[in-house]
Structure 1
Amino acid sequence: MIYCGIDWAERTHDVALVDDTGRLLAKRHITDDTAGYKVLLDLLAEYGDSEEHPIPVAIETSRGLLVAVLRTGTRPVFAINPLAAARYRDRHAVTRKKSDPGDALVLANILRTDMHAHRPLPDDSDLVRAVAVLARAQQDAVWNRQQIANQLRSLLREYYPAALEAFSKWDNGLCRPEARELLKLAPTPSRAARLSRTQLTAALKRAGRKRGVEAEAERLCDVFRAEWAHQPDLVEEALGRQMLAVLGQLMAACAAADDLALATEEAFTKHPDAEIILSFPGLGVQLGARVLAEIGDDRHRFADARGLKAYAGASPITRASGKKSSITRRWVKNDRLNHAGYLWAFSALTASPGAKAHYRRRRDDAGDWHAAAQRNLFNRMLGQLHHCLKHRRPFEEHVAFPTCLAPATAAA
């Protein structure tokens, strides 16, 4: 067997090949372009890399063009955690010396000695990779939108409390089109107080509101014309200009999140697993796309449901040493999947009677706190999802929660 290690960098990469005995067979310093990729592939082919006998490759990243080139064909690619690679480096030298060619050699030796302990990158389809790109980008856009909205809210508290009071009754508050349109029309409380009901009605209609426009314009007029504390005129105008700049960022973030949501929905609904995922209570298109993006469609990625639960951070972990033993939640996990699972379990409480009964049993009988009970529910439903995807079956409430539904049926 030949093993390849690549120390990845922004512009150049170091490559090392070793044999079963750990002897260095070849090393190269390649550029991050088409010419460099060709040198790498020619080097692998020179040492016997083929479809029938591919050379495994270890690298410290799972993304990028270099990884895409390496994943062509049947060649297994292992994304080694940089922290794990640093621990392996200490096996070869205690002086803490470090070099890029040396790191490439360490990565190759990781596969030579412990390839069985590491997982290659999953063999997901191109469609699910596209879903992963869009779902993660949409999730990042939503987080960015909320961060900018929080900045805007903090700024409005300094000089424009009337706006916060006016928008407090609306879901999503400052992220709504009506709020953005009104702030653009009246960036200061003095201008807002001079708005007529006709102007407020027109602004609400421009934002897309169709029902209750007159009543809402009346309410906004009363809020804006009420008695509020004011900054000095010059300071208020300056804060208004600052608010318009932040508002522009918020409008761009909202547009990006909406566009990515549409693109995610379009790609996700084309996948054959979408119908099964959407059959689960609490999983909509966006949340289902995030779940699919993180677990992929490679059915050999997880040997059983326990592996998937550990990957998501839903199952507990035991730490034991001598006479001491503790069972705690996992800190090392897929954070995106874990976040999606929190929202999934929370939504399932109102969408599934069995999920709600399971949650109440964990709270009342097991004595779990809210977060622990919700994590336990996510753990159970993740196992059900693994089973349904493996056997190509949709979610069935009476099969998923038979013991939880039985007492409710008997009481009825």
Structure 2
Amino acid sequence: MAVTSQDSRLDREDVNALSVFCGIDWASDHHDVVIVDDTGSLRAKARIDDTAEGLAELLRLLADHGDTAEDPVPVAIETSRGLLVACIRATGRPVYAINPMAAARYRDRHAVSRKKSDHLDALVLANILRTDAAAHRKLPADSELAQAIAVLARAQQDAVWDRTQAANKLTSHLREYFPGFLAAVGIRREGVCHPIARTLLAAAPTPEQAAGLTRAQLRSLLKKAGRKNTIDAEADRLHTALRLPQMRQLPLVEQAMGHETLALLRQLEAACTSADDLAEAAVESFEKHPDAEIITSFPGLGSLSGARVFAEIGDDRSRFTDARGLKAYAGSAPITRASGKSVAVLARRVKNQRLAAVGYVWAFAAMAHSDGARAHYDRRREAGDRHTAAQRNLFNRMIGCLHHCLTHRIPYSETAAFPTSAGSQLSEAA
């Protein structure tokens, strides 16, 4: 790994007198490192491998240019994930994850010809910190437990999305040759994801096989799927439903489509198992954190949904100095675009998509468990908001309350969150 230093003529005292900034252009197998001082002069550059030796070389390079535990050198990189970022964060150095689109706009300041190289990209990142560090947010100093919860909660959310995709593929495929099965199990909210539906489909993936199932076989399959009540009645219903007349594919085509169904079913089974296992692990880890009690005190938030919320906000309370920053991060606060006499208030598109997704579910569930939340939603609807806008406004209110409760270490209070609604209820009771 080649290292080139530009300050060989400077002694140690001169190095410590200057502020330096580090930029790293990340790649899958190597990383380009650049260090600049507060005048923008290049002090050092290097290309390190994505190995432990490369990390050690990076730390030595930073130490040679004034990096200390009391005054660490800030590092800019275009990703917030990966082993390199995790190891740098573990050393206590501030790491800024620069959005690649923002970095691309800064690049034009250094090369109007729009040339691009790994060294130039690292130089651009270092100069972003030198000139505009205040405009970018460094990665939060979350605890080890908080980072583990984030990994599990995000993985579980990904598994749920994979499960939904697999279920949609299987459902679409069944419509092409076995609509009677969907009609038979469609009364359940989970559809083909329900254990009974998956067990039946594994035993009889074609209409001919399904019609040949006896009541005794159906009862056995229901027990295998975990059914404990009204087994005989459900077996009779399925026995009738699976024998109703329906359009059919040609016999050989139907058999081939049955084989494809089994392949899609295996994918769905794996996605369901992954989602369930990760949910259990995420809840177990989340409930060990002291913030869990406060988060789950909110209406509409259980252990799993609370873990998803916590995964995105972490436990570094200095990350969001006020509720406005958290609301913008969650995408619940609107964005105003004004030019002259034209003013437009729009929904925020650039946001944390995971937090926004769980926020929609949170607001929906809160309306069923909180009279104040329901009254707030109804007021927004009466004011002319559509359903999505009113629900987003409710999420905005709840996320602001969450920031207050976490900052002051207090549980949720209905009377504090919705004082107008609580006061009206007391008046009616009197």
Give the TM-score normalised by structure 2.
Answer: 0.94
Matched, 1:155 2:173: yes
Q: Is the 8 A contact 1:357 1:405 kept in 2?
A: no
Q: Which residue of 2 aligns with 1:15?
A: 33
What is the distance in 2 between the residues matched to 1:306 and 1:77?
23
Identity %: 63
Q: Which residue of 1 aligns with 2:93?
A: 75
1:273-329: per-residue Cα shift (whole Å, max 9, x none)? 000000000001111000000000001001100110011011111111222211111
Following superposition, the deviation at residue 396 of structure 1 comes to: 1.2
Q: Which residue of 2 aligns with 1:39?
A: 57
What is the distance in 1 between the residues matched to 2:120 and 2:269?
48
Q: Which residue of 2 aligns with 1:374?
A: 391
Matched, 1:183 2:201: yes
Q: Which residue of 2 aligns with 1:27?
A: 45
Matched, 1:125 2:159: no
What is the distance in 2 between the residues matched to 1:352 and 1:282?
8
Following superposition, the deviation at residue 390 of structure 1 comes to: 0.7
Please tell me the residue identity of whatever aligns with 1:18: V
Q: Which residue of 1 aligns with 2:126?
A: 108
Matched, 1:403 2:406: no
What is the distance in 2 between the residues matched to 1:91 and 1:5?
16
Classify the secondary structure of the residue corresponding to 1:91.
Answer: coil
Following superposition, the deviation at residue 409 of structure 1 comes to: 3.7
Q: Which residue of 1 aligns with 2:293?
A: 275
Structure 1 segment 13-412 matched on structure 2, within 5 A: 13-364=31-382, 366-412=383-429
What is the distance in 1 between the residues matched to 2:161 and 2:261?
20
Following superposition, the deviation at residue 177 of structure 1 comes to: 0.9
1:247-283: per-residue Cα shift (whole Å, max 9, x none)? 0100011001010011001111001000000000000
Unaligned runs of 5+ in 2: 1-18
What is the distance in 1 between the residues matched to 2:391 and 2:304?
20
Q: Which residue of 1 aligns with 2:13?
A: none
What is the distance in 2 between the residues matched to 1:74 and 1:228?
66
What is the distance in 1 between the residues matched to 2:410 and 2:123?
46
Matched, 1:4 2:22: yes
Classify the secondary structure of the residue corresponding to 1:38.
Answer: helix
Classify the secondary structure of the residue corresponding to 2:108.
Answer: helix
Aligned residues: 411
What is the distance in 1 between the residues matched to 2:175 and 2:410?
51
Please tell me the residue identity of whatever aligns with 1:191: Q
Following superposition, the deviation at residue 158 of structure 1 comes to: 0.7
Classify the secondary structure of the residue corresponding to 2:96.
Answer: strand
Please tell me the residue identity of whatever aligns with 1:284: G
Following superposition, the deviation at residue 53 of structure 1 comes to: 1.3
1:99-145: per-residue Cα shift (whole Å, max 9, x none)? 00011011000111111111110000010100000000000000100
Please tell me the residue identity of whatever aligns with 1:384: C
Q: Is the 8 A contact 1:58 1:78 kept in 2?
A: yes
What is the distance in 1 between the residues matched to 2:191 and 2:135?
49
Classify the secondary structure of the residue corresponding to 2:385.
Answer: coil
Following superposition, the deviation at residue 55 of structure 1 comes to: 0.4
Tell me whether 402-411 or 105-114 shows the greater mean CA deviation: 402-411
Give the TM-score normalised by structure 1.
Answer: 0.98
Please tell me the residue identity of whatever aligns with 1:227: P
What is the distance in 1 between the residues matched to 2:90 and 2:292?
26
Please tell me the residue identity of whatever aligns with 2:30: T
Please tell me the residue identity of whatever aligns with 2:64: E
What is the distance in 2 between the residues matched to 1:167 and 1:388?
44
Following superposition, the deviation at residue 404 of structure 1 comes to: 2.0
Following superposition, the deviation at residue 229 of structure 1 comes to: 1.5
Unaligned runs of 5+ in 1: none
